[in-house]
Amino acid sequence: MAVRSYDDFDDPLNPRHKTQPVPGPDGDLAAALQEPLAELSTPAGPTPNLGGPSPYQAKGPTLGFGGFDQGKIDRGHVSPKYVFRKHAEGLGVGDTDELLRRLQGDESGYFKNARMDRGDLFIDGELHPEFGGINAFDVVKGFSRGGEEWQWLPTGPHAEAGGPQGGGGGNALSGLAGLPGGSDIMQALLADGGMGGSDLMTQIQAELQRLLTGQGASPSGL
């Protein structure tokens, strides 16, 4: 039986000392320990995407917004106007198909029957009461010029004829959109998202309806 000397193994200060691997039952233990570490450091395949589907990339310049109240945005207002705004975020005029997909899938159900034609949004068939009877909206300001911003401008089916108001007088406001400067006036009137929500709005709409149908302003005015 070989006898190991003190000098050979136990004194690290001895010049002849040399660290020796500790053998194991299946060979060199140190080498065996390195193998699983090497396996862990080498990816087995592509790193999986744990963040879900890739976010949608806009097809062109995105649009800002006009005529939306920041206070209502901050409070998470859930009227059709502000639900629309939420889904239009980060999109432009080239992304109407994506916008429509988002709107139709919204859990509110406001836009389940929606369709878009250029810069106009239409609600076909059953209309949610929150729309106040208005089923058509100009949602892109300056669409023919390439799009300037997202907006929420009710137009309605009877704008040209000045027909029945429906939905709290929205069609009277719709007729204003066809007059010079009418769009800007409508944006100012609707800036807080209201449609017939106050006595003042009701009076304004009534006066507009009289003017559009050629009856002139009422004696009392506003």
pTM over 0.85: no
- Residue recorded with tokens 């409508």: 186
Question: What average pLDDT does the segment 170-186 reach?
Answer: 53
What distance in Å separates the CA atoms of residue 80 and residue 74, rounded to the nearest whole number? 16
* 76 alpha carbon, distance to own chain's centre: 13
Is the Cβ–Cβ distance between 122 and 114 less than 8 Å?
yes
β-partners of residue 23 are 28
Distances (CA, A) of 68 to 22, 85, 182: 75, 8, 18
Domain spans in the chain, listed from the N-terminal domain onward: 64-212
The residue ranking higher by pLDDT, 94 or 210, is 94
Residues 6 or more apart from 144 whose CB is under 8 A from it?
none
Question: What average pLDDT does the segment 23-41 reach?
Answer: 56
pLDDT value of position 164: 37
Residue-wise pLDDT for 118-152, tens only, equals 899 999 998 999 999 999 999 999 998 989 999 99
Is the Cβ–Cβ distance between 110 and 165 less than 8 Å?
no
